[in-house]
Amino acid sequence: MAESKELELDVTNIAHGGISVARHDGRVIFVSDAIPGERVLARITEDSKKSFWRAETVKVIEPSEHRQMHVWSSASVARAPENRAGGAEFGHIELSHQRELKRQVVVDSLQRFAKLDSPIADDVIVEALPGADDGTGWRTRVRLHVDASGRPGPYAARSHKVIAVTELPLATELVQEAAPLDAKFVGEEHVDIVQAATGGARLIVGDQKPSTITEVVGDREFRLADTGFWQVHTHAAQTLTTAVQEAIAPALFDTKAHNLDLYGGVGLLAAAVADRFGSGTKITSVESDATATGFASRNLAEWIGADAATGRVERWIAQLAATANAHDRARLRAATIVLDPPRSGAGKQVVQAIGGLQPAQIVYVACDPVALARDIGLFAERGYDLTALRAFDLFPHTHHVEAVATLTRR
Ligand SMILES: C[S@@+](CC[C@H](N)C(=O)[O-])C[C@H]1O[C@@H](n2cnc3c(N)ncnc32)[C@H](O)[C@@H]1O
């Protein structure tokens, strides 16, 4: 960028990633902190590409009827763009309209990346989780980054500049109370605040040695490392447990089949499946983090047919396919496979490997609608149709949306 350029833009659509779309002289401009329907003054931040530019809202000229005061003043458009805290990029939008925009992103992703124009996608709504009416107070895990002077804070939106803040409104009360926003951590890179279901909130400074915490879902306890993966929203684990249980078609479920929980963490979704279908359920939870699978083995111990394996899914499943005999193949054809991959999705290699096993049904839990849509497109090529889809607002005031899709063999 030679010099800072500002333009008045009419914002028309929402794009994946929490940014809005405007057009100027026929060129697409992705604009942050705006809402479709608004006219804004925006500063161009990237104009090196032919096909699109990027811009940040500097001033709202004609606000949307859905604009509200930002739930986090540290992220407000009233601040200079480079000083706005990141992680609440929808906080200036009414909560119900955030969900409408997320719905549009899910539907649009399915149309563009899965080439899917189906009533199942059209009927999807983004369901709210229990919690505060204003969508704050749900985060049980927060990472603060530390700047060169030792001061902790969130990164600014779209950069690694640490922003000093006085509050963390998306976090639970206990996490807010425990957050050391005035302390100094010279020489550290980050500080995590983690609230487990029992034992209050704790600080994890830098690469501190992990200790064991307990999470509770319904009347079931899960043990895990405080540095390990657990769903972030206070109600997320319960919501996904129920959603996965409901996404499985009982008529296609076989307790004795070689059922799988891929990207299984500490066994949350394997437990959901086994709870739904009873003590005889066979299911293997596969996860790359050996500490997590160690905990998963213990968390799943009460089900005789449940176990946990350590491995990268792409290799583990290739190995399974390579060594399966006719009996194993029949058990895999009868199987239900649950997968909950990271943001990048399962990808071609894993989708092809699962498709090759020809399981009866697949339940795909996704935190990225574009990655999900790409994988649904790949599954369609392997003979699987989308038969159910739900979306959940697991991350209010951010652009993130979680989806649970059921795919059934044709
Ligand atoms: C979105 S989390 C889901 C965990 C679990 N299903 C839950 O809800 O608690 C994704 C998990 O996949 C694991 N993971 C990431 N890439 C992996 C890979 N290639 N193979 C196996 N596990 C992987 C991560 O360590 C993480 O535990």
Please write the tens of the pLDDT for every residue from 68-112.
999 999 999 999 999 999 999 999 999 999 999 999 999 999 999
Per-residue confidence at 333, pLDDT binned at 50, 70, 90?
A: very high
Is residue 245 lining ligand 1, measured as CB closer than 6 Å? no
Is residue 393 lining ligand 1, measured as CB closer than 6 Å? no
- 175 φ/ψ angles, rounded to the nearest 5 degrees: -65, -40
* pTM, full prediction: 0.97
The pLDDT mean for the chain works out to 96
Question: What would the CATH number be for the domain defined by 100-131+231-409?
Answer: 3.40.50.150
**Active site residue ranges:** 367
Which residue in the block uniquely carries the two structure tokens 């606000």? 63
Contact 316, 292 (CB under 8 A): no
**Domain definitions of the chain by residue range:** 5-67, 100-131+231-409, 141-215
Is residue 89 lining ligand 1, measured as CB closer than 6 Å? no
Per-residue confidence at 1, pLDDT binned at 50, 70, 90?
A: low
The answer as to CATH 2.40.50.140 being correct for domain 5-67 is yes
Which of 217, 223, 224, 229 has most ligand 1 atoms within 8 Å of its beta carbon, as the pocket-test mutant?
229
Contact 61, 41 (CB under 8 A): yes
Q: Whose CA is nearest to atom 13 of ligand 1?
A: 263
Mean pLDDT of 175-185: 97
Per-residue confidence at 199, pLDDT binned at 50, 70, 90?
A: confident
* Whole-angstrom distance, CA of residue 245 vs CA of residue 231: 17
Is residue 340 lining ligand 1, measured as CB closer than 6 Å? yes
What's the pLDDT score for residue 3?
55
Per-residue confidence at 15, pLDDT binned at 50, 70, 90?
A: very high
pLDDT of 17-63, one tens digit each? 999 999 999 999 999 999 999 999 999 999 998 889 999 999 999 99
Is residue 268 lining ligand 1, measured as CB closer than 6 Å? yes
ipTM, two decimals: 0.99
Q: Is the pLDDT of residue 325 over 50?
A: yes
Q: Which atom of ligand 1 is nearest to the CA of 367?
A: 1
Q: Which atom of ligand 1 is nearest to the CA of 269?
A: 6
pLDDT of 219-257, one tens digit each? 999 999 999 999 999 999 999 999 999 999 999 999 999
Instruction: Encode burial over 378-399: b for 16+ CB neighbours within 10 A, e otherwise.
Output: bbbebebebbbbbbbbbbbbbb
* Whole-angstrom distance, CA of residue 118 vs CA of residue 373: 13
Q: Whose CA is nearest to atom 14 of ligand 1?
A: 263
Q: Is the pLDDT of residue 2 over 50?
A: no
Q: Is the pLDDT of residue 116 over 90?
A: no
